[in-house]
Amino acid sequence: MVGVIRRFNQLKALVRIRTGPGAAVLPQDVTRIHMEFAHRMNDGHMGPRKFWRDALPRLKYWNPAVPMVVNRTTDNNGPATLTLYFREPGATLASDMPMPSSSNEGFAKAPAPAQGERVVTIDMKHRRSEAILKEFMDKSGAVAVKPTPQDELELREAEEREARGAIDRERIRKMYEEAKRERAMIAQAQSEAAAIRASL
């Protein structure tokens, strides 16, 4: 069984998904989110990729009922868009609206809005993830989640654990290197001694 303390520390480190960029609660009229960008970060796809890695998991954590689909393509000349779907005031949407599954091969294009839905598209290409997040927050009406004192304490503890871990890893690395160097010196001395004995 994996060490209980190690698992506990990993669980405590999950506080990062509850706080930080993208930790926000979406309004009730946001029905779904679609992202499209390229695998490689060349030609303006670095900001969208960073938004996807940093902000989208937090958005999903705080809004588990909102479908979020990511369509990644191999075309770096193609678009990098973030599409927000909103329920029109007073509209009733079908519970079985079609929404493709995320795709790594460009097969999950953004669907057309359903009846009673409107769409807002954010162009993410050649933009930093912070600018994308700001426009997303403004256009979606999402409310940022502030970290609680307990969250801040857990974040500090996780950072301290990581700093101690980095120091320990460096110490162990030096220890292994020293042991490896000693073994190499012993092996060299033994081979030299064997060569001297063979020459006698």
Assess whether 116 and 185 both reside in one domain: no
Residue 80 lies in a domain: yes
pLDDT reported for residue 90: 74
Same domain, 199 and 130: no
Same-domain status, 54 and 113 = yes
Is residue 170 domain-shared with residue 109, that is, in the same domain? no
Residues 157 and 113 grouped into a single domain: no
**What pLDDT was estimated at residue 3?**
66
User: For residue 108, what is the domain's CATH number?
Assistant: 3.40.30.10
Last residue of a domain, one of 102, 130, 146: 146
Cβ atoms of residues 52 and 35 within 8 Å: yes
Give me the number of domains the chain comprises: 2
Count Cβ atoms within 10 A of the Cβ of residue 185 and give its class: 0-12 exposed, 13-18 middle, 19 or more buried: exposed
Structural domain boundaries, residue 165? 147-200
Residues 29 and 91 placed together within one structural domain of the fold = yes
What values do phi and psi take at 45, rounded to 5?
Answer: -105, 5
Co-location of 175 and 118 in the same domain: no
What confidence score (pLDDT) does residue 95 get?
A: 66
Residue 109 domain flag: yes
- 135 and 184 assigned to the same domain: no
**Same domain membership, residue 132 and residue 34:** yes
pLDDT tens track, the chain, 200 positions: 556 666 666 666 677 788 888 889 999 989 999 999 998 888 889 999 999 999 999 999 999 989 999 999 998 888 899 999 998 887 777 666 666 788 888 788 888 888 888 899 999 999 999 999 999 999 999 999 888 788 777 777 777 877 887 888 888 899 999 989 999 888 888 888 888 888 77
Task: Please tell me the predicted confidence (pLDDT) of residue 64.
Answer: 92
Closest CA to 33 of 60, 54, 73: 60
Whether the full predicted model's pTM is greater than 0.75, yes or no, is no
**Does one domain contain both 29 and 84?**
yes
State residue 97's pLDDT score. Answer: 67
Is residue 83 in some structural domain?
yes
Same domain, 140 and 156: no
Give the list of residues 6+ apart from residue 23 with CB closer than 8 angstroms, or none.
58, 59, 61, 62, 144, 145, 147
Torsion angle of C-alpha atoms 126, 130, 132, 137, degrees rounded to 10: -170
Kindly state whether residues 140 and 151 are assigned to the same domain.
no
